[in-house]
Structure 1
Amino acid sequence: MLKVYSFSRVNKMARGNTRDLRVLWALEEIGMPYEIVGMDHPNHDLDSPEFRAKNPFGQIPVIDDDGVVVTESGAILLYLARKSGKLMPRDLAGEAQVLRWSVAALNTIEVPVLTLWFVDMSGGKGTRPSEALRGWSAMRLQQLDAWLANRAFIATDDFTVADILMTHVLGGGTDPSLLAPHANILAYRKRCTDRPAWRKTFDAYSERVEAAP
C-alpha cells in the first residue's frame, strides 16, 4: 500500500499549513488507499538516517509507493495524477496546462509570497528587502487575479492537481492583506477549499497532528 510520510507533530505556527496536506488532499480527491507514517518534527524524526535515505533534504512530504519513492509536493501530485488517471487530463495539451500551472504555483507565486513571509517572520518587516518582496508578490497576485477572471479553475475547466497546489500556496501562510484586493483569487480559493475532500482532509489532519508546545 502507498505510504505517506506525514507529520504527526509540528511546531505550533506550522500546524495546518504543512505541505503534506497537498498530498493528503489529492489522495482524498482521487480515492486512493494509503497509510500514514507519522513523523514528529520537533523530535527530529526527519533527521534519522532512515528518513534521509528517502529524502536527503529531510523534508515532508514523501511517498513510498511499493518502492517508488517520490519527494517534493508538486512531483508527488503529478505522479499520483498520472498513476490514477484522475485530477489531470489524459490528452497532451490538457496535461501541458496542468504542468504549466503546477510549476507556476510553486515558482512564480510561492517563491515571492513564501520569501516575504520568511523575511517578515525573521524581523525584517518594513525593511527595503521586505518592501521589494511585497511589491513582487503584489504584482504576481494581480496578474494571477486577472487570469482567474471568468475561470472556475486554474488550468482547465475541471479541478486538477494544479488547483491543489495553487490553493495551498494561497493558503494560511500568505499575508491576508496581499490577497484582500483580489476578488477573483479569493473566490477561487473559497471554491477549492469548499470541496468536501479538502474539508475531510483538513479535519482529519487537525485531529491527528499535534502542535508542539
Structure 2
Amino acid sequence: MGETKDMRIQWALEEMGLPYRVRGWDYSGGECDTSAFAAISPFGQIPVIEHDGLVVIETAAILIHLAETSGGLTPADPDGREHVRQWCVAAMATVSPAIGGVAMFDAGLTGGDRAARDFWLGLARRWFGGLERWLEGREWIAAKAFTVADIALAGVLREARDMELMDEHRAVRAYMDRALARPAWRRTRELTAERMSVDLSAIA
C-alpha cells in the first residue's frame, strides 16, 4: 500500500504544477497482465504516462521526460541536466536493486535464504556509503536545487526507511527526510490515500 512507483511521477507533477489526469490500473487484479496494457507497457508495469500522444514507460525515463519537456526540476545548463539524468539512472539501476533484494527477504519472498539477504545488504551498504560521502556538504543529490533526481532517489530510499541501513547512514537519512518533508510529497500522499480510499496513515 502506497509503495508503487507511480507516486514518484505524481510527486514530480505536483512539484512542477503541471495539469494531469490519473488513470488507475488494477495491478493485483490482473489488469496489467492484459493485452491492452501490454500494448503500452511491454513489461506489464506501472507507471506509464501519455503526453501529447507519446507513451513513456520506466520511472526514470518519465521523470527525465517531464523535466526536459517542462523545464522544471532540472538545471538550465547541459552539464547540469546530464548530472540529473545520471542520478535518476543511478537511483533505479544501482541503489534500488540492492534495497529491493533486502526487502524481498524481509517480506518472506526468498525462501528464508539468509545468505541472500546478507549479499543484498552488503551491496546496499556499499551504495549507501557512496551516497553518504557524496552528500557531505550537499543538500540535494544532483544540483544545488531540488530536481527530479531527488524524487527518483528519495523514492528509492523510502523503501529502506525501516531498514538498519538508515541508522548507519545519517546523512542519507537526513537527505531522505528533507525530500519527504516537501509539500508536494505531502500532497501526493494525500491524493493517493484519497484515490485508494484508505486512511493517510496507511501510506507512510
TM-score by length of 1: 0.87
Name the amino acid aligned to 1:199.
R
Q: Is the 8 A contact 2:154 2:179 kept in 1?
A: yes
Of the three residues 177, 199, 204, the one matched with 2:186 is 199
Asked if residue 72 in structure 1 is aligned to residue 58 in structure 2, the reply is: yes
- For 2:153 and 2:165, how far apart are their aligned partners in 1? 15
User: How far does residue 207 in structure 1 lie from its aligned partner after superposition?
Assistant: 1.7
User: How far does residue 66 in structure 1 lie from its aligned partner after superposition?
Assistant: 2.4
How do 1:53-72 and structure 2 match up within 5 A?
A: 53-72=39-58
Gaps of 5+ in 1: 1-14
User: How far does residue 153 in structure 1 lie from its aligned partner after superposition?
Assistant: 0.1
Q: Which segment drifts farther, 116-125 or 144-153?
A: 116-125
Structure 2 equivalent of residue 190 of structure 1: 177
Spell out, residue by residue over 1:117-140, the C-alpha distance to the aligned partner (whole angstroms, 9 max, x if none): 223421445622221211111111
- For 2:51 and 2:34, how far apart are their aligned partners in 1? 20
Q: Is the 8 A contact 1:114 1:174 kept in 2?
A: no
Q: Is the 8 A contact 2:99 2:159 kept in 1?
A: no
Quick one: structure 1 residues 123 and 53, their matched pair in 2 at CA, closer, same or farther if it must change by over 3 Å? closer
Asked if residue 160 in structure 1 is aligned to residue 152 in structure 2, the reply is: no
RMSD: 1.5
How do 1:138-149 and structure 2 match up within 5 A?
A: 138-149=125-136
Name the amino acid aligned to 1:108.
T
Structure 1 equivalent of residue 202 of structure 2: none
Give the secondary structure class of the aligned counterpart of 1:34. coil
Between the two proteins, the alignment pairs up a number of residues equal to 197
Q: Which runs of 4+ in 1 moved over 6 A?
A: none
Gaps of 5+ in 2: 199-204
Percent identical residues? 40
Structure 1 equivalent of residue 18 of structure 2: 32
How do 1:8-157 and structure 2 match up within 5 A?
A: 15-121=1-107, 122-125=109-112, 127-157=114-144
